[in-house]
């Protein structure tokens, strides 16, 4: 690991991150008065032989006066009622498109939705998730009740010299697809390093990084950007099985150098509980330098350098 103990002990030096500002002109829709967004397209992201189905859903928000930015989310209210007779609650989804939308017109918003099923603990029957199956079955021309946009913390820094460490599992890749598209497609560059660590079951389910859709992978040629995939289920001896924290640990030297330099922002997105494995990697690295990770992390959170979005 680069740097002596004395040098790394200066990691307590932190910086306040100034993030992108949300446009004041944007309208925010509430559950009692949602915006009815039209469905432009639904495209499957996972490859044909995948055990999961994940869809890229593009919504028309042209008449909404919604002006979102990367890192925000929108809510979708499924039709129908709960057993109590009340309307279904909104489900939040990270926006997967950059601020100008997938078509560059600033009139669309994209979400990434996995079709979910659960087993009834009593009967053992398989029950389809209400919101996910509703969304995955949508067709162009349908409309959905949309609320938001929401979120003021999981936003990119204004300073493009800041190193970014992006850590995702599954559909948690959605906001990072928005980040990458804004940085390289709209803005055109990022002077700091960008390191994406992505955990999925297998290569066919590497959303935006597979043969069906390579929206993120196409920017791997950019000098400042690298992406690393961790596959938890592999079917041949040539591939190494592991989770996202294991891939992070493989690159611990560069990751810890970034943290020690102080000019960084970490973003973690995915299933609740994924942060525990990630936290253990950083805790181990800090302990090796006789540093107190909980204290360091608390300061990073305070300064906007440590950002968590789990569901």
**Catalytic (active-site) positions:** 93-94, 269, 309, 311
The distance of Cα 179 from the centroid of its chain, to the nearest Å, equals 9
In sequence order, what are the residues at sequence separation of 6 or more whose Cβ sits closer than 8 angstroms to the Cβ of residue 247? 197, 199, 228, 229, 230
What single string gives the DSSP state of each residue in 186-247? II---SS-EEEEEEESSGGG-TTSSSS--TTGGGTTSTTEEEEEEESS-SSTTSPB--HHHH
What single string gives the DSSP state of each residue in 68-101? --TT-EEEEE-SSB-TTSSBPPPEEEEB-S-TT-
Cis peptide before 144 (omega within 30 of 0): no
């Amino acid at each position: 690991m680069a740097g002596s103990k004395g040098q790394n002990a200066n990691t307590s030096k932190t910086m306040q991150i100034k993030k992108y500002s949300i446009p004041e002109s944007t309208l925010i829709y509430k559950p009692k008065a949602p915006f009815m967004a039209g469905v432009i397209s639904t495209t499957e992201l996972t490859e044909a032989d995948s055990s999961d189905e994940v869809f890229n859903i593009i919504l028309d928000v042209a008449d909404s006066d919604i002006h979102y930015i990367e890192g925000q989310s929108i809510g979708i209210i499924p039709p129908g009622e709960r057993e109590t007779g009340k309307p279904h609650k909104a489900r939040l989804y990270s926006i997967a498109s950059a601020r100008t939308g997938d078509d560059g017109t600033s009139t669309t918003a994209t979400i990434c939705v996995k079709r979910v099923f659960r087993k009834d603990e009593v009967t053992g029957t398989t029950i389809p998730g209400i919101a996910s199956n509703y969304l995955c079955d949508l067709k162009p021309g349908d409309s959905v009740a949309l609320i938001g946009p929401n979120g003021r913390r999981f936003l990119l820094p204004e300073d493009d010299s800041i190193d970014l460490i992006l850590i995702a599992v599954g559909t948690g890749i959605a906001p990072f697809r928005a980040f990458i598209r804004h940085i390289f497609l709209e803005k055109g560059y990022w002077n700091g390093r960008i390191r994406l660590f992505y955990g999925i079951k297998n290569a066919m389910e590497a959303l935006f990084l597979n043969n069906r859709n390579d929206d993120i992978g196409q920017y791997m040629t950019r000098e400042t950007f690298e992406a690393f995939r961790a596959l938890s289920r592999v079917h041949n001896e040539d591939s190494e099985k592991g989770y996202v924290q294991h891939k992070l640990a493989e690159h611990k030297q560069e990751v810890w150098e970034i943290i020690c330099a102080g000019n960084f922002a970490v973003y973690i997105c995915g299933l609740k509980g994924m942060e525990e494995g990630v936290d253990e990697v950083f805790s181990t690295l800090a302990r090796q330098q006789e540093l107190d990770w909980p204290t360091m992390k608390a300061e990073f959170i305070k300064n906007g350098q440590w950002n968590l979005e789990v569901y």
